[in-house]
Chains A and B, each alone.
Chain A
Amino acid sequence: MSYSDKVIDHYQHPKNVGTLDKTKASVGTGLVGAPECGDVMRLQIEVDEKSGVIKDAKFKTFGCGSAIASSSLATEWLKGKSIDEAVTIDNMTIVEELNLPPVKIHCSVLAEDAIKAAINDYRQKNGLEALKFDEKIVH
């Protein structure tokens, strides 16, 4: 299977690899996937308290090139978005942007889940209730 140029570019030059301080109230952390499944993503957002805009996003991912690219792309998209905008990021837009083949769609779903998990972590830390999301059925 060959990867698209965009996947290769994110793999070779991943954007926003790193760790934010998860103890801070302004930081939301989402950890999704499982080592047994071959994919674990950790995505973090830091929200500007006044404007509610995501001012920083970082990821670390254990997985294939498509998983790394999906999370790298997600962090790029998150920066500068408000929480409300970030919630609407759909995995299929990631699939389209990266030209992921059908067997790799689960990587984009994982990235979407990681975004939502990070947002909910942030909301709960700040006394808001967690948003409920419809489960996406994969494999």
Chain B
Amino acid sequence: MNMPVDEALNPSGSPTGLGHVAGDAVDISHGTILYLDDISVSFDGFKALNRLTLSVDVGELRCVIGPNGAGKTTMMDVITGSTRPDDGTAFFGQNIDLTRLTEPEIAHAGIGRKFQKPTVFENHTVFENLELAMKADKRVFASLRAQRTAAQLDRIVSTLETIDLLAQADLPAGLLSHGQKQWLEIGMLLMQEPQLLLLDEPVAGMTDEETAKTAQLLHSLAGQRSIVVVEHDMEFINEIAATVTVLHEGSVLAEGSMDVVQSDERVIEVYLGR
């Protein structure tokens, strides 16, 4: 039953179907993890992305900012396969064409996404949430036979510690506070062991303490994994001290360190509102 589904879903025969669990790994030999080139997306005449070009290096921590409607979420949608670009190319590493894969295939290839509004499995316990996200053979018949190994349990418990939810492990995720849900979602991304994390407003609704802790977590992750953060909280961006890309009307307006961007005239005009 597996094969026809995969083939039909993936008629292009691209190398990273769900049928290839250990399949072709992402090729990062050139030091670039994400490469968006000339991407355009329009919705009934409205240009959400306008010839956007952007690349992210391996191990980089990148912040994307921009006013509402600048195309941040649409950019995320293109990377994760929710929206197909009208034009342009999107590559994960050298070899994986993101415009031809479905969401689960892209997730499997190694891109994890956290949504603006935390999405976790509310009726499952925190533990189960992490276990479901864990990197594994995620096809039906593998899941039917799946048995948890000691190493896997150890990984889940370690992640529970990392996101500070060990005490809540048996609680349904729906009962967590907003900040805890944010962390659980980040924890789930970690369980997926992605090469690239896309985080949409990870500290929204968090206390200052939680925000600081999140910044710390991201710092510890950078280097091993590439991270793209969409954020409005300037303090947080300063804290994680990343390269900043400013989007405006669907294309890149400016790019560089926070200082460089903050002194850019055009940025001040469209974004900082002066």
Asked whether A and B interact, the reply is no
